[in-house]
Copies of this chain bind each other. A is one copy, B any other.
Amino acid sequence: MVLAAPAWAAEPKRQVIIDDEGFAIPHLMLLEDPRVEVLGITTVSGNVWANRATAMVLRGLELLGRTEVPVAQGATFPLLNSEARTERWEALYGKLVWKGAFMKRWAEPTAQSTPPYHGPFDPVDLPWGNPKLKALNEPAAQFLIRTVRAHPHQVTILATGPLTNLALAQRLDPEFATLVKELVIMGGSLAPKQVLEGKSAADFAREFVNTPRREFNIRFDPEAASMTAHAPWPKVTIVPADPSTATQLSPALLERLAKASRPPVAAFLRRMEPGFPMWDEIAVAVWLDPSIVTKAERLWYDFDVQFGPGYGDMLTWHDAYRPGLDEGQADVVLSVDVARMEALMAKALGER
């Protein structure tokens, strides 16, 4: 299937909230694109703890001169999952490749750097300076509800981290999901295959070669992901790990993006570590222009919440096989036109 193009003409600015665990290219793309209004940025624990993610977002907005964008810090802890529980799980079912904020060391040598280990309330000291800007005095879930209620049926939520905030928002306000315009999730996995050559691509393949249905954002908070899957969103697009294996944030692409960008954005880009698949960038790009999708499928979906070997695995069904227990339905992106996506990224950042 081909995804329908958004009605840009009818909406001078498409409104979005970014719910994620840091500040990176997806944020830059949305903040810099003149056709987009970022209503706010929320944070959540995932790759790093929420307090660190919040500081990164605040400092990023300062460096970009976009201090008017509201920031709300989200959940520090997943609903049920925890660092101790993850270690017990690994003792039974095998080591996870990536554990985000719980990560102390890689199970085997890896091209990517090992992030420093912090506690959930450790003070944050960012290498590129700490923010003076403050987050709102309101948790992310509450900010999400308030903002969506202020713009009913207008707001897209781009959720590119664990789904803890969305699950909390939906239980705080059972009408929340129905008032959103669209939800775009980067998370889950169907059966990715390594596409690119090289050590970096091979290293990232370890995340799915033995566990095709496991992906970090979901695995960090499986219960929140399943709650999100059961909420009545009018429209859901999922970018699983699958299309990411054909993408890589190469030094050349980083330089192209930096050249396209305003000086503070360029400076930010030139500090980034290359080599990663562009998970979240795909989600943003697909929302900006669904015509870059070369293959997608409408599927029923949920996530495994049993504390067994499949904890957090993505579950999907075609119509005739679904259980019919209010599992979600989504357009699941399987592949994108990578050259067009890179051009779209450069264009969002200012390339003419």
Contact = CB atoms under 8 A, between A and B. Distances in A.
Interface of A: 90-97, 107-108, 190-191, 193, 206, 209-210, 212-213, 299, 302, 304, 306, 308-310, 313, 315-318, 320-323, 325
Contacts of A209: 318
Count of this chain's copies in the oligomeric assembly: 2
Contact of A92 (B90, B96, B321, B323): B323
Nearest to A107: B320
Contacts of A308: 304, 306, 308, 310
A45 to B, nearest CB: 23
Contact of A95 (B107, B310, B321): B321
Please indicate which of the listed interface residues A94, A107, A318 has the most CB atoms of chain B within 10 Å of its own CB: A94
Contacts of A94: 315, 317, 321-323
Given A306-B306, A310-B310, A317 B210 contact: yes
A316 B210 CA distance: 5
A318 B207 CA distance: 11
A228 to B, nearest CB: 17
A299 B210 CA distance: 9
Contacts of A325: 92
Contacts of A93: 315, 323
B91 A323 contact: yes
B95 A320 contact: yes
Interface of A is mostly: loop
A318 B206 contact: yes
Please indicate which of the listed interface residues A92, A209, A299, A321 has the most CB atoms of chain B within 10 Å of its own CB: A321
Nearest to A97: B321
A3 to B, nearest CB: 20
A193 B95 CA distance: 26
A310 B321 contact: no
A302 B210 CA distance: 12
A247 B193 CA distance: 21
Contact of A306 (B210, B213, B309, B318): B309
A262 to B, nearest CB: 43
A281 B318 CA distance: 30
A65 B268 CA distance: 79
Please indicate which of the listed interface residues A93, A96, A97, A299 has the most CB atoms of chain B within 10 Å of its own CB: A93
A299 B94 CA distance: 13
B191 A318 contact: no
Nearest to A302: B309
A213 B212 CA distance: 8
25 contacts: A92-B323, A94-B317, A94-B321, A94-B322, A94-B323, A95-B320, A95-B321, A97-B321, A107-B320, A108-B320, A193-B193, A206-B318, A210-B299, A210-B315, A210-B321, A213-B213, A302-B309, A306-B306, A306-B308, A306-B309, A306-B310, A308-B308, A309-B315, A310-B310, A310-B313
Contact of A107 (B91, B97, B310, B321): B321
A9 B313 CA distance: 48
A318 B210 contact: yes
Nearest to A315: B309
